[in-house]
Structures are given as structure tokens and as C-alpha cells.
Amino acid sequence: MKRTTSMIALCVASLAMPAMAAESWDMPLAYSASNYHSENAADFAKCVTDGTGGDITITTHPGGSLFGGADIKRAIQTGQVPIGERLLSAHANENAVFAYDNIPFLATSFDDAEKLADIARPTIEKILAEQNLTLLYSVPWPPQGLYFNKEVTSLDDMEGVKFRSYNTTTARLAELTGMLPVTIEAAEISQAFATGVAESMISSGATGYDRKVWESLSHFYEVNSWLPRNSVMVNSETWADVSDANKAVITGCADAAAAAGLEKAIAYTQFTMDGLAAGGMSVGPADPALVDQLKGVGETMTAEWLETAGDDGVAIVEAYKAAN
């Protein structure tokens, strides 16, 4: 996994851009300013601003401050903002292929998640193009684990637990494990757990650490079920009006952001595990019997996803398996 992480060289090398009317792009982000996705987006924004010589100035708006997570994709599509970041799997109700990165136990490491994303990208780009969106880059979250406010060793322990879901995949996981799905965006996690609206979730250590969930929850179980991705997209009509020179700058900054974001995700994984433990949570691998039960649930979910995702979904999975 050899990748460069230097945005500085790209920006400096691209300062000599032709003069044109300056544009200001607002970039909504769903996660807190301290989250590595938001920090990475801020670096990307600076790279573009510097690299275009101020022709395009990008200002990030983290924490759902401009648009809530659920509204960001639509805001980009309709031109309310020219650019933004969104968890595409949250829109699997529009097209099941958007949840390719949520197939349980298919790609469970950073290396495998990158292979899967590379294989899926042409299909994702095609679908997004039909929605007036152009994909610039995507960055993975750390492997997903299970959070609870009690010890859990089997599916029986999950029965009736209120579970924070963020897309159709996680809602289905709740249903198949006997939990009760409650849709909650990232910015609302802390309040939801503090008030008992939710009692559990599947997410990365990063989300739990950022939201200090140890104030309400007691256990984090490493199950490495999948590595979802955040995607940065630009409105296609806006993109068409960008000069070729500035497109080259933005594309270069996007490639650098993808590489830097991946390294941040890898580094952040253990850091957040340590942080959850320091906050007082029990952190460690799930009971092997529970993992076996979850893999059985995963097989059901995978079969359902392949059916709803159709030929595009089947082609992605088959190409991925053939590459491994």
C-alpha cells in the first residue's frame, strides 16, 4: 500500500494558475472538527485554495453546522453547496450499491478495504454521475465494532436493545440480531446515549472516542465487520465550469487527501482503542461464539444485498474475490 501523503508539494507546484474570477465553495461535513475525516478535509480545502492561487477558496463546515449529515448529499446534488462529504452507504435506499463497503466480513482490513474501493469506484462514479455528482476521493473509517452498555456474549444478550442505525445495513443488522433500530446521525450520538434513546451501535473506535461514549456505554467489542467510507463529492455542473488547470489541482489534492486520510485512519485505530479504554470502557475482541453468530447474520445480509444490488453488486463482489 504505497501512497504519498504530501499535499504541500502538490499545492506549491500548482500555484501558477491563470487568472480568473475567484469562487468561494462551502463544504459541509457531518463530523466534528477534531475528527480525522474533518481534519483531512480541511487540509484538502487548503490545498485547493493554495493550489489554485485563490481562484477557488474552500471553507469547511464540520459537525453538521451547515447541513446535517442526512442532507449533505442532496445539498450538493441540487447546487445548494458545490462540494461536501458524506457516508454514501447512508443512501443505500437510493441504490443498494452505495452500501458495497458495508458487506459484513467481506473486506475486514485496510488493505482489503482499499482493494474493494478501487474495484467499486467505476460503478460508484457511474451512479453518482446520474445524480449530478462527481466523486473526488473517499477515506475509510477504522474497522467497525459493537458498543453496548452491558456485557454481551451472544445474540440472546442483544434482544430488545435500542440500537443506533445510520443506514439500511445497520438497521437490518439490528433486526436480525433482535435489537431495535433507531436512526441517529453522528452529531446526535452523545445525546442519544445520554438520554437512553439508544443503548448500542456498530461503529469505529473513532466515532466512540470523538463522542466520549464512555460517559454512557461500558463495552466495545472488536468484530472488524467492515470498513465504511466517507466520500467527498462535487456538484457535476459546478465541476464542468472549473478550468482544466484547476481541475488538475483539485484532482491532485483529492489523490493526496485519499492517501493522507488512509494513513490517518490506520494511525487513529489503535489511538482510539486506547482512548476508549482510558475513558473506562472494556475494550477487546468479541467472544468467538458471538463472532460466529454474527458471521451467520452476515451471510444472510450479504445474500440480501447481492439480490437488491443486482448485476452491479454481483460484479463488484466477484471481481473483489477474484483479486484476492
> If you search the block for the grid coordinates 460484479, which residue do you land on?
315
Instruction: Give the type of residue at 104.
Output: P
The per-residue pLDDT for range 138-170, each reduced to its tens digit, is 999 999 999 999 999 999 999 999 999 989 999
Q: What residue numbers bound the domain in which 20 lies?
A: 8-140+230-270
d(CA 167, CA 184): 9
The per-residue pLDDT for range 195-215, each reduced to its tens digit, is 999 999 999 999 999 999 999
CATH, residue 200: 3.40.190.170
168 in the same domain as 41: no
Residue 257 Cα distances to 7, 41, 57, 144, angstroms: 7, 7, 17, 22
310 in the same domain as 213: yes
Q: How many domains does one find in the chain?
A: 2
133 in the same domain as 31: yes
The per-residue pLDDT for range 96-106, each reduced to its tens digit, is 999 999 999 99
Q: What is the distance in angstroms between the CA of the first residue and the CA of the last residue of the chain?
A: 15
207 in the same domain as 80: no
20 in the same domain as 92: yes
236 in the same domain as 120: yes
> If you search the block for the grid coordinates 482512548, which residue do you land on?
275
For the question of whether the overall pTM of this predicted structure is more than 0.85, the answer is: yes
149 in the same domain as 136: no
317 in the same domain as 220: yes
